[in-house]
Amino acid sequence: MPRNATQSAIGAHLLAERIIDWYDVNARDLPWRGVDVDPWAVMVSEFMLQQTPVNRVLPVFEAWMVKWPAPADLAAESVGEAVRMWGKLGYPRRALRLHAAAGAIVADHGGVVPRDVDDLKALPGVGDYTAAAIASFAYGQRIAVVDTNVRRVVHRAVLGAAEAGQSTTKADFALTDSLLPSTPQRAARMSIGLMELGALLCTATNPVCERCPLRTDCAWVAAGRPAYDGKPKRVQKFAGTDRQVRGLLMDVLRDNERAVTKADLDVVWQDADQRERALDGLLRDGLAVIDENGLFALPD
């Protein structure tokens, strides 16, 4: 039976100490981390890392920051170029939102990524998680940053559950917040440490418990590592989906500096109905435009 927070075998202070000490030694050297990293770099990384692994993000992030090292640089560029640079990261609407957010930062915040959480959440594409991540990782604020990795570590170590379920709840934020040190900078350090621990050791499958800094007091380990007994997890298919077709159409648009014909797009997928549905979706989402000559291109 999962424990509640007050029944945890490991106290919040000890948990924080162990995670921070582990992170200080084992943290990956990533270009969006460090005391001197610009908040804009943190913000760009958070947009790119949504549902996308680090190894795919790294080359795109590095090229992006060379081209647009500040919000004003991106805001001055066409949205189509932002979509082009997004490449094959997937979910390209993130590029549209990041471009719009850069414009709002220039218009409303003097070109500087705001530190206030409410100001961050007012930016296009910035929800509760992303705002918290920027406030914590860029500005060292004490705020719970709760993603899938953090939820998994907390639910295992504190509550003894194999997994945390499919959606973040207010209880997840409250529990994670209760574990953070009172000092803002140490709280921020613990937040990134929790995330790193979930990414590297306390993984969804094949967790490396023998190397985990929490192993001796982890409630899940103490309970015998019980299997997940919640609702079956949804497995997202890609092959054959509209999302795959959208990606193929986007490849054509990105790879051509000039507008392309309908025939250029038609060759990417045999099923005409699915292809048309995917193309209509791109036009509706603002990821593609059609001119007066019936040619297709990325947005201006």
Q: What is the DSSP letter of 260?
A: B
> What is the rounded CA–CA span in Å between residue 278 and residue 165?
31
> What is the rounded CA–CA span in Å between residue 283 and residue 278?
9
Measured at the CA of 141, the angle between CA 135 and CA 142, to 5 degrees, comes to 120
Close Cβ partners of 93 (under 8 Å, ≥ 6 residues apart) = 285, 287
> What is the rounded CA–CA span in Å between residue 202 and residue 81?
38
Catalytic residue among 17, 46, 196, 292: 46
In the three-class reduction of DSSP (H, G, I as helix; E, B as strand; rest coil), residue 276 is classed as: helix
- Residue 276 is among the residues annotated as catalytic for this protein: no
Q: Which residue has the tokens 């899938």?
A: 148
Phi-psi region of 179 (alpha: psi -120 to 50; beta: other; left: phi over 0): alpha
Close Cβ partners of 205 (under 8 Å, ≥ 6 residues apart) = none
Asked if residue 124 lies in contact with residue 97, where contact means CB atoms within 8 angstroms, the answer is yes
- For 34, 52, 207, the CA distances from 30, given in Å and listed in that order, are 8, 15, 22
> What is the rounded CA–CA span in Å between residue 167 and residue 155?
13
Catalytic positions, written as ranges: 46
